[in-house]
Amino acid sequence: MGVTSRKPTELAQLFASINGAWSFLMMTSDFLVVFKFPGWQYQEYPPTVQCIVEKALIRATKLERKELCLVGASRTDKGVHAWGQTAHFVTPFKYDRLQSIHVGVNGNLPCDIRVRELSPVVPEFHARFSAKSKIYHYKIYNDAIMDPLQRLNVYHSPYRLNVGAMREAAKYFVGKHNFSAFANASEKERLPDPVKLISRFDVIEMGALLQLEVEGSGFLYRQVRNMVALLRQIGKEAIPPDIVPLILASQDRRELAKYTVAAPPHGLCLMSINYNEEHLKLPQSCLTSSFGRYHTINKCKLPFY
């Protein structure tokens, strides 16, 4: 599930055949009502987003779960939204058009989850391992009174935040660093490679709304929410911006815990995933992508007066 940096004309070129099997890319948006789904990772009860999407695919394709091999690009946490999640699956069928299966999948999904695009992909494509970078947005409503229409996907901060200090602090995150201090994990759990590259971290002010945009090669468990939480404390002027490099250098999660806890999940949204361009190039004769199907009326059934 996800949004890539490709243009619609480029997306229409995706096609693949893998030893008689066809591989497809799904780009979906799952607007999660806060805490309604316990994240993406497959789990039958309570059902996760992956579980629900797989069941819809099974109904639409008549294939078993082990045949589809659905793989997601990012494991979003409980309560985190995703406009740009990406996933791929495999099918033995060669479809003439993708619109029918696209409509079938969405018809079996709850209103909180939608497949926005369905495209064929090359054999080398992998939703997770072909990704070059991911972009997350975290939204903070910085006003004394919260806008009730934004309460499900925007965090409310009634403290007046110093945006300049937050921008100064965000610059310390940019570059290649060991983010062990910003990952949630117990002592018994082994972290994956904690060294990540952050290419940009912008703090954008839009009236009362603050949008924190971060792009990186990858992120550790709850890394973005922990970085945002520290920036929020800096914005409240509880701690100075130059605390960031000190916490990074400690490589110790307990050091961050002295100043803040993770920001709530509902303000975070996975916006897009950028992919290796070599895995996106396909012949002009391939199937076209499906972006959904509009309903049409052949003739007006109401009489004119």
Between the CA of residue 149 and those of 13, 74, 226, 266, what are the distances in Å? Answer: 39, 27, 25, 14
Cα gap 85→74, rounded to integer Å:
7
Cα gap 193→178, rounded to integer Å:
9
Residue that the structure tokens 């985190």 belong to: 80
DSSP state of 18: B
Query: Coil, helix or strand for 211?
Result: strand
Contact 213, 204 (CB under 8 A): yes
Burial class (CB in 10 A: 0-12, 13-18, 19+), 251: middle
Residue 185 contacts by C-beta under 8 Å, 6 or more apart in sequence? 191, 220, 221, 253
> How far from the centroid of its chain's Cα atoms is residue 104's Cα?
23
Here the tokens at position 305 are 């007066």
**Which residue in 30, 77, 96, 143 is the catalytic one?**
77
Q: Are strands 155-156 and 81-91 parallel, antiparallel or unpaired?
A: unpaired
Cα gap 145→224, rounded to integer Å:
25
Task: Give catalytic status of residue 112 as yes or no.
Answer: no
Residue 172 among known ligand-binding residues: no
| Region at 265 (left for phi over 0; alpha for psi -120 to 50; beta for the rest) | alpha
Residue numbers in the known binding site for substrate are 136
Residue numbers in the known binding site are 136
Which residues are marked as active site?
Answer: 77
